[in-house]
């Protein structure tokens, strides 16, 4: 049985939610392993559209067990809202949703700190989603965090929250000149959410070890994208976790040697939300058209996404970082009415040409993309069921990418709905 890691191969929003939903029909367990409600994974089927932030995207197609792994940071109040949305669609979560007792809790002070620190950075702001992600991982690594399993002991929880709040209030008052936080209010707001989610909190590490022993099929759902990885991304313009395949084991407890596949998701062009270097970003009509055709507005914050051509230097880097052995190409249809389509094959820097993705963010800011140009296919790729029936010029474009990166596209997505996918 497959134990497959699915990662975003760009800067996020590649269509991971859509592909996880599609694959979950043949999957026993779908596991989120990092990030938090900064993610927005859109799923469309029949007349339904739902954006999931914390719950794995495996709830709606088949009966996979959905696990929020230890590596995720969870805002209990956001989770309750999401549980209610999912239940409204008619999905029963009993025996379907499992939340790791080791996952860390995002508390209101993490969100306050996220926003205060962003404000203080001024023009150097990261452009975070404001969901408290960075500060929550700081608490975790500083060993001050509260874990989902700690929510049951109210006395201890109260003491821990009070200690953290006392500490943070000193910074808010004396360093940031911001209003102080009230620990009791946090507890009062949190209590109904704890009651609502506590039935789902358990030892998911044991659950997944048993699943591995039973040779169950498991899909590890990455959030964000490889280029937002805290180690391998465009630091400091990254998220605070490891979305790359390497993070999947740490964030779930599944051992590396159990993994059989690494599937990357890439758009047929590129987007980025938030700040940071983006060599192929477009500021012209073509960029506007990508945004309009692709409805490129953040699924979590609603911000317009920055849009540009596909960057093969960056994609090849993601392929190698994650050891991808399969790729899904999404949003091919967005390019259907372009006269010409460009793809970046190299960067130029200080007069030299390179196909190596620079790890220095300052350098990445200054590289100039070198493009290969393709004629557009000017016809609809939607509702095509077979790979070979795609427009000839679209096939040329796809085959060029495959050859460059050395990995085949096993899926091509030509629309947001589950059935708008060509399986090769």
In the complex, the smallest distance separating the C-beta of residue 416 from Mg ion, rounded to whole angstroms, is 12
Q: Is 41 among the residues known to form the active site?
A: yes
Question: Which parts of 281-320 interact with ligand IMO (CB under 6 A)?
Answer: 299
Residue 330 binding result from ligand GDP, Mg ion, ligand IMO, none, given CB thresholds of 5 to 8 Å by partner type: ligand GDP
| Beta carbon nearer to ligand GDP, 5 or 148 | 5
- Give the contact letters, 31-60, x = binds to ligand IMO (CB under 6 A), - = no: -------xxxx-------------------
Q: Which of 21, 28, 41, 333 is catalytic?
A: 41
In the complex, the smallest distance separating the C-beta of residue 398 from Mg ion, rounded to whole angstroms, is 23
Please count the residues of the chain. Answer: 424
Check: CB of residue 272 under 8 Å from CB of residue 305: yes
The span from the first CA to the last CA of the chain, in angstroms, equals: 19
| Beta carbon nearer to ligand IMO, 152 or 297 | 297
| DSSP state letters, 248-284 | HHHTT---GGG--EEEEEEESSEEE-SSS--TTB--S
Check: CB of residue 340 under 8 Å from CB of residue 296: no
The three-class DSSP label of residue 225 is: coil
The CA-based angle 254-69-408, given to 5 degrees, is: 60
SS3 of the chain: helix, strand, coil, percent, to 5: 40, 20, 40
273 is a site residue for ligand IMO (CB under 6 A):
yes
Phi, psi of 103 (to 5 degrees): -70, 145
Applying CB under 6 A, the span of 97-105, 121-129, 344-352, 371-379 interacting with ligand IMO comes to 121-129
Check: CB of residue 194 under 8 Å from CB of residue 161: no
Applying CB under 6 A, the span of 130-138, 159-167, 251-259, 371-379 interacting with ligand IMO comes to 130-138
- Give the contact letters, 190-229, x = binds to ligand IMO (CB under 6 A), - = no: ---------------------------------xxx--x-
8 is a site residue for ligand IMO (CB under 6 A):
yes
Q: SS3 string of 108-135?
A: HHHHHHHHHHHHHHHHHCCCCCCCCHHH
The three-class DSSP label of residue 299 is: coil
The CA-based angle 395-381-346, given to 5 degrees, is: 45
- Contacting residue, 40, 56, 76, 251, with Mg ion by CB under 5 A: 40
Check: CB of residue 378 under 8 Å from CB of residue 294: no
277 is a site residue for ligand IMO (CB under 6 A):
no
| Beta carbon nearer to ligand GDP, 102 or 224 | 224
270 is a site residue for ligand IMO (CB under 6 A):
no
Check: CB of residue 211 under 8 Å from CB of residue 98: no
Q: Is 47 among the residues known to form the active site?
A: no
83 is a site residue for ligand IMO (CB under 6 A):
no
Residue 413 binding result from ligand IMO, ligand GDP, Mg ion, none, given CB thresholds of 5 to 8 Å by partner type: ligand GDP
Check: CB of residue 310 under 8 Å from CB of residue 266: yes
Residue with the two structure tokens 């093969």: 312
| Beta carbon nearer to ligand IMO, 53 or 417 | 53
In the complex, the smallest distance separating the C-beta of residue 41 from ligand GDP, rounded to whole angstroms, is 4
| Beta carbon nearer to ligand GDP, 27 or 330 | 330
Catalytic residue numbers? 13, 41
């Amino acid at each position: 049985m497959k134990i497959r890691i699915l990662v975003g191969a760009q800067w996020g929003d590649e269509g991971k939610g859509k592909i996880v939903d599609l694959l979950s029909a043949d999957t026993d367990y779908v596991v989120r392993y990092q990030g938090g409600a900064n993610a927005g994974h859109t799923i469309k089927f029949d007349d339904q559209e739902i954006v999931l932030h914390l719950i794995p995207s495996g709830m709606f197609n088949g009966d996979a067990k959905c696990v929020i792994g230890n590596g995720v940071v969870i805002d209990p109040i956001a989770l309750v809202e999401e549980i209610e949305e999912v239940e409204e669609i008619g999905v029963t979560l009993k025996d379907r949703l499992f939340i790791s007792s080791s996952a860390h809790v995002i508390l209101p002070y993490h969100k306050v700190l996220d926003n205060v620190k962003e404000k203080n950075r001024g023009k150097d702001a990261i452009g975070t989603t404001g969901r408290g992600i960075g500060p929550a991982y700081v608490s975790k690594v500083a060993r001050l965090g509260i874990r989902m399993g700690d929510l049951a002991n109210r006395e201890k929880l109260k003491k821990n929250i009070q200690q953290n709040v006392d500490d943070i209030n000193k910074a808010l008052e004396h360093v940031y000149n911001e209003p102080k936080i009230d620990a009791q209010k946090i507890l009062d707001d949190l209590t109904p959410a704890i009651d609502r989610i506590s039935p789902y909190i358990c030892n998911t590490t044991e659950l997944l070890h048993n699943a591995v022993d039973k040779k169950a099929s498991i899909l590890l759902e990455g959030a964000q994208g490889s280029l937002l990885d805290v180690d391998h991304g465009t630091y400091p313009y990254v998220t605070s976790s490891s979305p790359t395949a390497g993070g999947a084991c740490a964030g779930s407890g599944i051992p590396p040697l159990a993994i059989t596949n690494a599937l990357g998701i890439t758009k047929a062009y590129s987007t980025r939300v938030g700040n940071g270097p983006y060599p192929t970003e477009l500021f012209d009509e073509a960029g506007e058209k990508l945004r309009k055709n692709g409805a490129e507005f953040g699924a979590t914050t609603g911000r317009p996404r920055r849009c540009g051509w596909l960057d093969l230097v960056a994609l090849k880097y993601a392929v190698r970082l994650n050891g991808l052995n399969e790729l899904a190409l999404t949003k091919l249809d967005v390019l259907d009415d372009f006269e010409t389509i460009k793809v970046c094959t190299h960067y130029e820097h200080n007069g030299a040409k390179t196909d190596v993705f620079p790890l220095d963010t300052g350098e990445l800011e200054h590289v100039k993309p070198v493009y290969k140009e393709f004629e557009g296919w000017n016809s609809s790729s939607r509702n095509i069921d077979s790979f070979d029936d795609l427009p000839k010029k679209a096939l040329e474009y796809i085959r060029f990418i495959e050859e460059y990166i050395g990995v085949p596209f096993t899926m091509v997505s030509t629309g947001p709905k589950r059935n708008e996918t060509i399986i090769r």
